[in-house]
């Protein structure tokens, strides 16, 4: 026991001497970094600016020694945090919120969407397949409509409605019922989009079901309007906002598929690493999809209720769709990507 005590004693003394010899430099570096974080680099004097990189290298050297000589863990942790803070102030690229948003919309978001083109195609095919199945089910048995579409979503648009009633929902003047239905529809579709992404971790099974279900409801509505000669008008009524809203839902599903497939088939990476990487891409796409849903909400709440001409509705919907496709998939040069980043 005496021998163990004697061998342990010099390490304690050395640690104390080590801290005493360098503590002044650490404290000065910490004060400079704190000043930059609270104010800006302009808050430092010329002498401080010259001393900052020297103090940073000194702290790195101290951290290296502390790790190699197994000094107390608290000191190592303090130096790690101090060096990390100093590194970001010295070598980090400070960007304003406006610049970060510009980079997101000009490069980060479109690049993430292009990276999910396979998942986006699968999500689109599921939506189309669901619409076809929903249409056929309701045409064969109208009772299926209420199994696929709830009363709140139907809003009087069901197989028992007359042609005049259905026509009024497409071309009638703005009223409280349309406002309530528009709000309900937007909320429902936003929930579909969010859950399609959030439930992707369950091997993408819930995501596939939600995307297919959204298509089933679309097909069910088509089966109500088409037999009564209002299919063209209904498609235009949907198109004015649907090309944006459905695109957002499809992209949300694609983000969920990316996470689910990464967990199910991680490849050479661990499942955790694969999920994290897929989550970054998926979250970027989902963040942009929220913006698309907001745009769709504006089109739905304003444009669709005030524009009653079929051709005008198709024109708006087509312009929005082409605009999104060009925005996401128009080839960009590497130089543009580097400049944006």
User: For residues 196 and 251, what is the distance between their CA atoms, to the nearest angstrom?
Assistant: 9
For every residue of 304-317, DSSP letters joined together read HHH---HHHHHHHH
The pLDDT score that the predictor gives to residue 179 is: 59
- Could you give the C-alpha distances from 156 to 26, 93, 166, 226, 281, in angstroms and in order? 72, 56, 8, 16, 40
184 pLDDT more than 50: yes
> How crowded is residue 22: how many other Cβ atoms within 10 Å of its Cβ?
17
The tokens describing 95, both together, are 């960007």
The pLDDT score that the predictor gives to residue 74 is: 85
254 pLDDT more than 90: yes
Which of 35-44, 78-87, 240-249, 274-283 is predicted least confidently? Answer: 35-44
- Could you give the C-alpha distances from 16 to 13, 72, 78, 232, 253, in angstroms and in order? 5, 10, 15, 83, 58
Phi and psi based region of residue 284 (left: phi greater than 0; alpha: psi -120 to 50; beta: remaining): alpha
- Dump pLDDT digits (tens) for 220-240: 999 999 999 999 999 999 999
Q: Is the dihedral of CA 286, 287, 292, 293 positive or negative?
A: positive
How does the average pLDDT of the chain come out, rounded? 85
Nearest to 204 by CA among 273, 252, 246, 248: 252
Q: Which of the 8 DSSP states describes residue 142?
A: T
Q: Decide: 321 and 243 in contact? Cβ < 8 Å.
A: yes
Q: Decide: 196 and 253 in contact? Cβ < 8 Å.
A: yes
The pLDDT score that the predictor gives to residue 297 is: 85
- pLDDT band at 5, cuts 50/70/90? very low
pTM for the whole thing?
0.71
The pLDDT score that the predictor gives to residue 66 is: 85
Q: For the chain, what percent of residues have pLDDT higher than 90?
A: 52
Which residues have a Cβ under 8 Å from the Cβ of 253 and sit 6 or more positions away? 119, 123, 126, 127, 196, 197, 207, 208, 210, 211
Look-up: residue for tokens 């708006």?
316
Map out the domains of the chain as residue ranges: 22-91, 101-340
Which residues have a Cβ under 8 Å from the Cβ of 167 and sit 6 or more positions away? 230, 233
310 pLDDT more than 50: yes
Q: Decide: 337 and 107 in contact? Cβ < 8 Å.
A: yes
The pLDDT score that the predictor gives to residue 340 is: 37
- Dump pLDDT digits (tens) for 58-107: 999 988 888 888 778 888 889 999 999 988 888 875 566 787 889 899 99
115 pLDDT more than 60: yes
The tokens describing 65, both together, are 């020694």
Q: What angle do CA 33, 39, 40 make, to 5 degrees?
A: 70
The pLDDT score that the predictor gives to residue 178 is: 56
């Amino acid at each position: 026991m005496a021998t163990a005590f004697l061998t342990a004693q010099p390490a304690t003394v050395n640690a104390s001497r080590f801290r005493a010899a360098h503590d002044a430099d650490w404290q000065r570096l910490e004060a400079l970094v704190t000043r930059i974080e609270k104010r800006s680099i302009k808050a430092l004097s010329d002498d401080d600016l010259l001393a900052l990189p020297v103090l940073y290298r000194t702290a790195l050297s101290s951290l290296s020694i502390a790790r190699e000589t197994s000094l107390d863990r608290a000191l190592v942790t303090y130096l790690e945090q101090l060096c990390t803070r100093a590194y970001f102030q010295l070598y980090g690229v400070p960007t304003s919120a406006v610049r970060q948003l510009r980079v997101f919309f000009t490069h980060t978001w479109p690049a993430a969407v292009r990276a999910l083109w396979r998942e986006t195609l699968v999500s689109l095919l599921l939506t189309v397949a669901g619409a076809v199945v929903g249409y056929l089910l309701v045409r064969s048995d109208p009772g299926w409509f209420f199994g696929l579409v709830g009363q709140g979503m139907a809003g009087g648009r069901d197989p028992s409605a007359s042609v005049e009633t259905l026509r009024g929902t497409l071309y009638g003047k703005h009223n409280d019922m349309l406002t309530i239905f528009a709000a309900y529809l937007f909320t429902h579709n936003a929930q579909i989009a969010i859950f399609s992404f959030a439930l992707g971790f369950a091997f993408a099974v819930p995501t596939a079901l939600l995307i297919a279900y959204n298509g089933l409801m679309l097909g069910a509505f088509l089966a109500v309007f088409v037999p009564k000669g209002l299919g063209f008008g209904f498609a235009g009524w949907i198109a004015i906002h649907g090309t944006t809203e459905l695109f957002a839902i499809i992209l949300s599903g694609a983000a969920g598929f990316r996470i689910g497939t990464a967990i199910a088939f991680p490849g050479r990476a661990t499942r955790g690493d694969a999920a994290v990487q897929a989550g970054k891409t998926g979250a970027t796409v989902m963040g942009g999809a929220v913006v698309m849903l907001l745009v769709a909400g504006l089109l739905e709440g304003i444009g669709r209720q005030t524009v009653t001409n079929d051709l005008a509705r198709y024109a708006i919907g087509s312009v929005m769709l082409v605009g999104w496709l060009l925005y996401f998939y128009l080839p960009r040069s590497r130089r543009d990507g580097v400049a944006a980043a």
